[in-house]
Amino acid sequence: MRALRAILLSSCILLLAAATSSAQGKPAASAPAAGLPPLKTVFLILMENHNWSQIDPASAPYIHKTLLPLGAHAEQYFNPPGLHPSEPNYIWLEAGGSLGITNDADPSANHQSTVDHLVTLLTKAGISWKSYQEDISGTTCPLTSVALYAPKHNPFVFFDDVTNTNDPHSANCIAHNRPYAELAADLQNNTVARYNFLTPNLCNDMHDCSVSTGDTWLSREVPKIPARRRQRHRFERLLHRRHHGPGRDLESRQPQLRQSAREHFQQPAQRHADQ
């Protein structure tokens, strides 16, 4: 078992909750800071498998020299003691709880019938979403591992209303879970969704490979997003970094929100709630 580092889960939910509430005519979770327009687009990137002490400047120069100076970070987020698989925490990020899942089994075993989860609420509110996953084909609903893709890092495929209950041919699932390579064209064509969940493969997210591998991937991919989006819309980037590794259940410090996003949502740090 490995010690999970789950950072700013609540902030991500708050960002999208504000957008959802506004679209439904309900009060937003937090008023925008003076002079700043509402958030329009969220990009969520998850990295894996290393304690913050391993994310040193030599191994991760892009994180330290570029992302840390640009963003806010949380220092009081802790993994739930004794519960360290990836999957329950990705489910928590999507549904606000682990829904009883305590392992990394595929959707065939751990699929959920609830419709009370983030992307369904976004859809009902008229807010678009898409999950971009490295190493999937885009021709089937990605319910099983292929190459260096793992369903445990893609929470949406665990919900029956997304997958038509584990149907590999589900048009809804296929439309919302796309190969990561398609992101570049969507950005270029200005067809990117408002909520975008980006998952590198098991090597590029540092899970199976080195910190430097993940840092290099971030340095190559993250700049592509604002460079294209800022030509058309005000851009907010949320970089969610999630670490688990051997050792104690400790907090970690990670770059999270650009300054403007941080001013929108000033929230106290909270313990990760996957119980």
The better pLDDT of the pair 82, 28 is held by: 82
Q: Which three-class secondary structure state does DSSP give residue 177?
A: strand
Give the pLDDT confidence score for residue 166 in this predicted structure.
98
Query: Are the beta carbons of 29 and 18 closer than 8 angstroms?
Result: yes
Is residue 61 included in any domain, yes or no? yes
- Strands, E, within 95-247: which ranges? 129-133, 177-179, 195-199, 238-239, 242-245
Is residue 30 included in any domain, yes or no? no
Domains in the chain, number? 1
List pLDDT tens digits, range 29-75.
445 555 556 778 889 998 988 877 788 999 999 999 998 888 777 76
User: 10 Å Cβ neighbour count for 207?
Assistant: 21
Give the pLDDT confidence score for residue 274 in this predicted structure.
31
Lowest mean pLDDT among 66-80, 125-139, 167-181, 243-257: 243-257
List pLDDT tens digits, range 193-246.
999 999 999 999 999 999 999 999 999 999 988 755 544 444 444 444 444 444
What is the Cα–Cα distance from 56 to 61, expressed in whole angstroms?
A: 8
List pLDDT tens digits, range 84-138.
789 998 999 999 999 999 999 999 999 999 999 999 999 999 999 999 999 999 9
User: The domain containing residue 135 runs over which residues?
Assistant: 3-20+43-247+257-263
Short-list 244, 238, 242, 243, CA closest to 267: 238
Q: 122 vs 94, 118, 119, CA distance in Å?
A: 11, 6, 5
Is residue 74 included in any domain, yes or no? yes
Q: 66 vs 139, 215, 249, 259, CA distance in Å?
A: 36, 11, 27, 13
Burial 99-117 (b: 16+ CB within 10 A, else e): bebeebebbeebbbeeeeb
What global pTM score does this model have? 0.77
Is residue 183 included in any domain, yes or no? yes
What is the Cα–Cα distance from 86 to 158, expressed in whole angstroms?
A: 13
H helix or E strand, kind and range, residue 258: strand 257-258
Phi and psi at 186, nearest 5°, equal -65, -40
Is residue 272 included in any domain, yes or no? no
Is residue 146 included in any domain, yes or no? yes
Phi and psi at 146, nearest 5°, equal -150, 135
Query: Are the beta carbons of 90 and 155 closer than 8 angstroms?
Result: yes
Kindly give the interhelix angle for 9-23 and 86-95, rounded to the nearest 10 degrees. 30
Give the pLDDT confidence score for residue 49 in this predicted structure.
81
Is residue 55 included in any domain, yes or no? yes
Is residue 232 included in any domain, yes or no? yes
Query: Are the beta carbons of 260 and 42 closer than 8 angstroms?
Result: no
Lowest mean pLDDT among 9-18, 87-96, 184-193: 9-18
H helix or E strand, kind and range, residue 43: strand 42-45
H helix or E strand, kind and range, residue 110: helix 107-110
- Cα torsion angle, 195, 268, 25, 117, sign: positive
